[in-house]
A and B are shown apart, each in its own frame.
Chain A
Amino acid sequence: MDRSTEDLVPLVYAQLRRYARQVLRREAPGQTLQPTALVHEAFLRLVQGEPEWQGPAHFLHAAARTMRRILVDRARRRGRERHGGDRERRDLSTELAQTLAPDAELLALDEALERFERLDPRRSEVVHLRHFVGLSLEETAQVLGVSLSTVKADWVFARAWLKRALERDAEE
């Protein structure tokens, strides 16, 4: 890690911690990955994977994608476990419903986002920073170096597009 990366570490760590705290306040039974551990994992992958960071936007871009990857991997793994033979889990039908829904949703979102990113990389970036790092609209505008109204418009459009994509997928 060079100097500039080191400077970014506390920023991102604080950001991710804040994010973890937000998550911490919500109760979601049946989850296995702890937020702090999640942050650690993301952090490790980040600092080990990239040789050099070109500013906060770059770092956060990577952080968001890392976070997305971790969550998707985890959802897939749990899906496999369910179909595999984790009897205890399968019996707990209510718990299953609770955990299944977010997982299925996340995987669907991941696919839709994949398509959206090819069509519209800029707005896809807004979604990543907002949804996977937990940045506010203001922070997103700051990181991307665009106006707040642009970010707002992009965010509203992206949400509508993704929502439509998910709904269309569900119909098919």
Chain B
Amino acid sequence: MPGTFLSRLAELFAQALGIAPEARAAFVAERCAGEPALARELEALLRSHTRAGNFLEEPACGAAGAADPGEPGTPAFEERFRVLELLGAGAMGTVYRAEQLAPVRREVALKVLAQELAGAAAQARFQAEQQAVAMLDHPHIAHLYESATTQDGRPFFAMELVRGQPIHTFCSARRLPLAARVALLAAVCRAVHHAHQKGVVHRDLKPSNVLVAEHGGQPVPKVIDFGVAKALAPEPGAELATAHGEILGTLEYMSPEQAGAAPDVDTRADIYSLGVMLYELVTNELPFASQRLRGVPLAEALRIVREEDPPAPSVRAGDRALRELDWIVLRAMEKDRARRYASAAEVAEDLERFLRHEPLVARPVTASYRFQKLLRRHRLAAGAVGAVLLTLAAGVVATLRESAHAREQRDLARESERKARENLRRAIDSVSFSVSFLGESLHNIAGATAARRVQAETALRSFEQLAALPESHGAADPGLGYAWQRYGEVQLAQGESAAALESFERSLAVRERVLARIAGHVERRTLAVGLWRRAQALAVRGRFVAAEADCARALALLSDLYAAGTPEPGEESIYLGIALRRVAEHRHWEGRDDEARRGLAEAVQLLEAGLRVSPEHAPLQLEHCITLIGLAELRGAAGESEAARAMLVRAQESLAEQSARSGRANIQERRLLARCATVEAALAAREGGHAAALAAARRAESLCAAILAADPLLHEVRVQHAEAMLAGARAHANSGRPADVLEALGRAVAIFTELEAKDPEHVFVRIGRAEASLLAARAREAALPGDAGAAVEARAAATGERTRALTLLRELDAEGRLPAGARAVLRAAERGG
């Protein structure tokens, strides 16, 4: 009987679907034994089922097209509009396609507001907004022709009829590549910016309000509904929500401030929404999923919008190629609108920069902010990996204790110890990974200073614990030495030279201990690095003799290693190159510039030999640039301007290439560009090109300022910043504009004073302040006021300033803490006044 056959088939089919696909064949064979027809049919059905996909899921009727005007509910418009089609309907109103008969005959979109939104106040706002919106004139904004009311008094807009698809639908349907999507959104940003300039905020930007159509093969976006949301804005104090999800604005694209208790909306709300749209266009996902926002009570949904940070697009999409766009999206979507892009045009510019592979404006500021925010929120978040490792280390301690106990039982003891040692090694490897890898990845990122500190502290604690275990037998020492060095670097970068010196001392002590045990290649090299790190801290504190000794010892160690033949030629030339440069730096401070130049030239040669072997070795390229700039400075000072300029050009080109390769300029690259500019300023000043000198100094200043805007904690960059101001003042001093000089010097002195409070022993800061005072005194004397009394007063002030500066320099000189350049300044000042 067919019925029986079918019902058995259906029953077996349902059962088969309940088991794993791979087990179904066996199931069929077993249950349909002896019934080949049933088995065949069941198998066929299961196959069809897996292929069914969306079959029949969509309701049948393939018809599409028009609404009929006669349909109940269509409002009665003035006679000059003839409704042709219903385009869509939502909580806020209904949209029709209509023919306008007068004054111009054209097709328009009529947007009629929902009845309950048509109060008198809404109408008044509606009229006011319409004035502003009618002023908009942009190819990517749909025109608002007019607004009026239907015969039953509901307000409606007559707008340019845009035929197109919502932007995300358009992009998905055509599988537009990333660059095309970004370009499309950049155009939208430009349009929104136009409206903002005319004082119109959209308030409800979302894909369905940005329609894209193809014209001449090019996708052309149009933003619709400008002014509609404003007209719908609630009365102050009115309930935000009409019903869940039908609040004004659209939850998914709504800015945190719109989701607040007292919505306060300006152009930056639109920038947020643009950020969400960009997020969606590049990841195909919303920052906060609709299902989630609409699956919770409204208050909770609004809280999510206000407080939660969505994952970065690259993380959400699992696509590292999006990392550069992360910065743009996250900056546009900052919770605090003051931290967003200031304008939609800036978003467009960054998107265009992205398309041209140029460094972004968004990047440093956001990086800094996010790191700081992270740290604020969970003090140890950035060291989370370290914290996990600490736990691991604690586990090792426990295992080792256990093993001590187990030693009483000899058989177990051996196994237990082996396990413990293995765990220890694993712990050390993990912490080492954390310190080196995480440390490197945070290194050079503006804004990561605080995160670097936490990470270094955590790593240090981990290694100290590991090293303290008697069973470790020094296995944790290399890591401990490295951790102390890292910690010292962080301290030095933040202007804690005394503490940094102590950390470097500890690092060296551990490394000497390691070297005494294992006199290997790596151990020696590591010791050399420790030595010049200590030398750095010593030099900053003016202890040049001790610093020079460290550098000389490092150079000797590395020269021996280099001569002995090396496992990694590129690496070795970097280390030896750095050592040569550091020693040369001391020669310069000692006033032996000829020797310094020879040393640097040798280093450049060595590095270039290394680059010939591995031309794309990034650290090698960077060190090459540093050395070139140093040599350019000295050759410039020796009057070889042309050679110096050529070197600067080479350095700058190489830096640009490095930034381009990594997709952005990191701190170090930007600091070096600033140094190039400072050296250029000195070159120009020496040749009498005061305007060029001033321009170069200004460039150095603004490069430093940009780094500091992202990461104000960087003490050494602040020193560089103030020194750039000083270079500017020197250029001014020679141009004979005392007012400008005094202004620049005032800023420099303020910074130097602040830095001195932080690190009083930093000789370069004190020298900078003294030199600034000397220049200021000279500027005051050069521009004495005409009034005799005032002139006397000004001269007295200048004299006081000069005396204080000279006292400071003499003090340092007496302590042997003055480099040659500063001594020359002192002597000149003494002669001059």
**Chain A interfacial positions (CB closer than 8 Å to B):** 19-28, 31-38, 67-68, 71, 102, 106, 119-120, 123, 127, 130-134, 153, 156-157, 159-164, 167
Contacts and interface: CB of A to CB of B under 8 A. Distances in A.
A106 B60 contact: yes
Contact of B52 (A28, A31, A32, A159): A159
B37 interface: no
A160 B45 contact: yes
Interface residues of B, dominant DSSP: mixed
A71 B60 contact: yes
Contacts of A37: 68
Contacts of A127: 56
Given A35-B63, A162-B55, 5 more contacts: A24-B64, A24-B65, A37-B68, A119-B2, A131-B56
Interface stretch (B10-18, B300-308, B329-337): B10-18
A152 to B, nearest CB: 10
B68 A67 contact: no
A131 B2 CA distance: 25
A76 to B, nearest CB: 14
A71 B61 contact: yes
B44 interface: yes
Contacts of A164: 44-45, 47-48
Given A23-B63, A71-B60, A157 B14 contact: yes
Interface of B: 2-3, 6, 10, 13-14, 17, 44-49, 51-52, 55-56, 59-68, 71, 86, 88-89
A26 B67 CA distance: 14
Contacts of A23: 59, 61-64
Contacts of A32: 63
A47 B55 CA distance: 31
Contacts, number: 102
A163 to B, nearest CB: 4
A14 to B, nearest CB: 12
Given A127-B56, A157-B14, A159-B56, A31 B63 contact: yes
Given A156-B17, A160-B52, A167-B48, A33 B59 contact: no
B61 A67 contact: yes
B60 A68 contact: yes
Contacts of A163: 48-49, 51-52, 55
A31 to B, nearest CB: 5
B54 to A, nearest CB: 10
A49 B526 CA distance: 96
A52 B75 CA distance: 34
A162 B56 contact: yes
A21 B2 CA distance: 40
Identify which of A24, A123, A132, A153 gathers the most chain B CB atoms within 10 Å of its CB. Answer: A24
Nearest to B13: A157
Nearest to B53: A163
Contact of B59 (A119, A120, A132, A167): A132
A172 to B, nearest CB: 14
A73 to B, nearest CB: 13
Given A160-B45, A160-B46, A119 B60 contact: no
A34 B61 CA distance: 10
A99 to B, nearest CB: 8
A160 B56 contact: no
9 contacts: A21-B89, A24-B64, A26-B64, A67-B61, A119-B6, A123-B10, A160-B52, A162-B55, A164-B45
A-B CB proximity, top 10 nearest: A134-B59, A164-B48, A160-B49, A163-B48, A33-B63, A34-B65, A160-B45, A160-B48, A28-B64, A102-B62
A103 B60 CA distance: 11
